[in-house]
């Protein structure tokens, strides 16, 4: 396992999750993304971070599939990568409600799994 690269990707994902949480903190509903320029800017920036997280996980999945499987099955990771692919290839169809749903209902679970991976990685480094 290329620990430095894996560590960098995990740290990037954690940083991105923290940025999303900060930007999402004042969003009460999907309508908040659409009501003004500030909301649209948050929608765009959060979608880009979700896309980037998916890209990082796609890279980890290619190189470190067994490592990812220590904390979740391949279906779980595949769903996140699919969100990345959708944003990348169908951005014009991006739905504010879908982004809201991801932020509201899925990020905490993902964060827990990524933190667990980081802990496991630190255990390997010792």
- Return the residue matching tokens 């991006």: 94
Instruction: State the pLDDT at residue 116.
Output: 97
Q: Supply the DSSP string of 90-124, one letter for each residue.
A: -GGG--HHHHHHHHHHTHHHHHHHHHHHHHHHHHH
Mean pLDDT (the chain) is: 90
Contact 99, 43 (CB under 8 A): yes
For the segment 85-114, what is each residue's pLDDT rounded down to a tens digit?
A: 778 765 666 789 999 999 999 999 999 999
Q: Which of 6-10, 63-67, 88-92, 119-123 has the lowest mean pLDDT?
A: 88-92
- SS3 at position 30: coil
Contact 10, 121 (CB under 8 A): yes
For the segment 24-55, what is each residue's pLDDT rounded down to a tens digit?
A: 999 999 999 999 999 999 999 999 999 999 99
* Domain boundaries along the sequence of the chain: 6-125
More confident residue, 94 or 82: 82
Residues 63, 28: Cα–Cα separation, whole Å: 38
Residues 55, 76: Cα–Cα separation, whole Å: 15
Q: What is the model's pTM?
A: 0.89
- Please say if the pLDDT value at position 2 is more than 70: no
For the chain, percent of residues with pLDDT exceeding 70: 90
Question: Looking at the chain, how many residues does it have?
Answer: 126
Helix (H) or strand (E) holding 38: helix 37-68
């Amino acid at each position: 396992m290329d620990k430095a690269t894996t560590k960098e990707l995990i740290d990037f994902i954690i940083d991105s999750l923290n940025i999303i949480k900060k930007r999402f903190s004042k969003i009460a509903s999907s309508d908040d993304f659409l009501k003004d320029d500030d909301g649209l800017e948050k929608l765009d920036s959060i979608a880009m971070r979700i896309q980037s997280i998916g890209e990082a996980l796609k890279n980890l999945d290619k190189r470190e599939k067994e490592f990812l499987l220590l904390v979740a099955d391949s279906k779980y990771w595949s769903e996140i990568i699919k969100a990345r692919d959708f944003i990348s290839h169908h951005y014009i169809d991006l739905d504010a409600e879908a982004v809201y749903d991801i932020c509201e209902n899925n990020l905490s679970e993902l964060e827990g799994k990524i933190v667990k991976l980081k802990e496991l990685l630190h255990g390997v480094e010792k």
